[in-house]
Structure 1
């Protein structure tokens, strides 16, 4: 069995996230404490108790998801005695999950990852006034017809494919009116269903350029070292280990397409047959079979998940 560790993106957060890990492992409590200290914020209390409306805010959800993901990997390493390179040949993360992957692989310090994600969330929120942008999921359509629908729907505004998640699930992002037009244009190209998503900003499209500029400046001041296992980057759908190249990909990722389907397929060509989702939720492990029926997805969310995994690892 050849594995990659993958890390979820925004939308997987939920009140109570990480509670059972913190209850079972000092290692998890230490991670959450370090993130709280880095942010000067009691984020772990918000994760534990809510309110959901505050946890869902981009600037809170992003570091919270990263904290739980890193806690899972550190538990495997410290409590399970299994170093990451012995468990996985690659790491990859969906959008913000790329920062989780880099922190888990030792390329980014945990405190730096937390602060960068806080800034990333704030910058993304500020980039476009609330109500101006939107995102929609198109179901039953592949990347190229979705891109054609976006071209037809733009009409002087911005709308672009934000995520190619695989299994006929494509997410588009941009000006609200253009996104609504893209849903209709996609239906004419065979899309079975289009639905607006409950997000606060149009992520992964050119409207996010102010946030990309903010991340470029912030990343210049952060130390980044080669990850212990290679990162499969969202915007490349290929591996990257050079710190300078990783920083550039993180900047491009703010406005660029998350090429998740292609990234998973790239890992398959490198012999990966199992994707292990570390953190909160089961979105990425659920997508695996839709991308490639020969691959397996596994989610490590709870202490029992971790204990069962360690018995086979």
Structure 2
């Protein structure tokens, strides 16, 4: 690499089953990292983290998300091991950056925290939010932070806060279970697509300050070192100068917002970063970077269908040309959202909350005005249309959309992007709005989406 490069680590969402299997077999020295994290996981009563990461038949991200601490540890371990392998190939990056829990990965990668202590921070983090037990979550919105803040005000919820500013078109709001449904209704009425994310608590929200205090108290004895590499913190909004700054990140990352958009712009504008490498099991941050920066920057990350860490490393090191850009900007005529993930990164949408007009997962009823539902083509023609729509919107070749390709786990397409593209197809074929009980996370392949459309065309209800 001849230009200054940023290595960025995703938070929640940077997981794929079996992603480290072959890498660990080829590089046994990296197995010690998995062993350390497994030992920490066991101390918290969790099943192994190495199992899902080395077994291609391991749990998908939706299943692992049922045990948040284990998923956080798996995302951390995957990114940390990939970074160590990248360094072994001579690429360390000029600056490190993590988003949400990815900040813990960045600190470990810079030598501030040991692997074991980083895993313990993630374990204690979940214990802290469980103890405070403020039921809530995150809502991803396809709009900028200023408009998102106005919508929060219109909804009137005292708990609603901007938690992650990911790009000019991606904002994530946190709040309680009482306030989030009002926000969703207000946003939909304003034409802004919203998607509830699969988390149980309002992360990066001041309501979690008691949890942050507990985390700070429990982790106060963890030894921290000054960073051995340059680390930029989206929470602090500046470079991490010393161990005291690292302590501030640990103490505040549950309750403070993540200014990812500002961080990326600062590194590009003020520090000449021109290469952005996403080190994780799935492309989570790359699209937000693409939406934020000029077209000339170099963006490298996990390619679609990457089931092996070596494929990711080949792309990051330039040993292989990515089959397609990691994720392309999608510009559509319908409002949509794309969370990264943050704590939301790429995690499947939770059970959708229905609005008063029956909309779901951000869908608005197509304006058919009583017109008859348009007839669908044959299943083969419909699948071909789905492949074309998804390929054109995401910049992927059509042949990656095989009938068994998991849209999220294999291709890295977040459920909200899947929803956005389905909306286009519903409008194209004048299909009715899906019912409120439908869960978009259940439609993981193109044939399943085609089946949903056929059900809607038949009688307006999903099977």
Cα deviation, 1:21-74, whole Å, max 9, x if unaligned, reads: 323322332211121123335221143354446621211111111111111121
Residues 182 and 311 of structure 1: is their aligned pair in 2 closer, same or farther, counting only changes over 3 Å? closer
Indicate the residue corresponding to 1:280 in structure 2: 281
Matched-pair contact (CA < 8 Å) for 1:6–1:276 = yes
For residues 13-92 of structure 1, the aligned pairs below 5 Å read 13-40=15-42, 42-47=48-53, 48=55, 50-52=58-60, 55-56=64-65, 57-78=67-88, 80=89, 82=90, 84=92, 88-92=93-97
RMSD over aligned CA atoms reads 2.3
- Give, in angstroms, the shift of residue 128 of structure 1: 2.3
Q: Give unpaired runs (5+ residues) of structure 1.
A: none
Matched-pair contact (CA < 8 Å) for 2:167–2:261 = yes
Higher helix share: 1
Q: Give unpaired runs (5+ residues) of structure 2.
A: 320-463
Q: TM (normalized to structure 1)?
A: 0.88
Matched-pair contact (CA < 8 Å) for 1:231–1:239 = yes
- Give, in angstroms, the shift of residue 187 of structure 1: 4.7
Residues 187 and 26 of structure 1: is their aligned pair in 2 closer, same or farther, counting only changes over 3 Å? same
Aligned length: 303
- Give, in angstroms, the shift of residue 83 of structure 1: 6.4
Indicate the residue corresponding to 1:6 in structure 2: 8
Matched, 1:134 2:141: no
Cα deviation, 1:144-181, whole Å, max 9, x if unaligned, reads: 121122233234x3111111111411111111231222
Cα deviation, 1:278-313, whole Å, max 9, x if unaligned, reads: 12110112221111133332115721332353357x
CA distance in 1, matches of 2:122, 2:49: 13
- Give, in angstroms, the shift of residue 249 of structure 1: 2.6
Matched, 1:243 2:250: no
Residues 284 and 308 of structure 1: is their aligned pair in 2 closer, same or farther, counting only changes over 3 Å? closer
Per the alignment, in what secondary structure is the counterpart of residue 185 of structure 2?
helix
Q: TM (normalized to structure 2)?
A: 0.61
Higher strand share: 1
Matched-pair contact (CA < 8 Å) for 1:127–1:209 = no
- Give, in angstroms, the shift of residue 18 of structure 1: 2.4
Residues 236 and 186 of structure 1: is their aligned pair in 2 closer, same or farther, counting only changes over 3 Å? farther
Indicate the residue corresponding to 1:149 in structure 2: 151
Picking from 104, 107, 112, the partner of 1:102 is 107
Picking from 99, 116, 132, the partner of 2:121 is 116
- Give, in angstroms, the shift of residue 192 of structure 1: 2.8
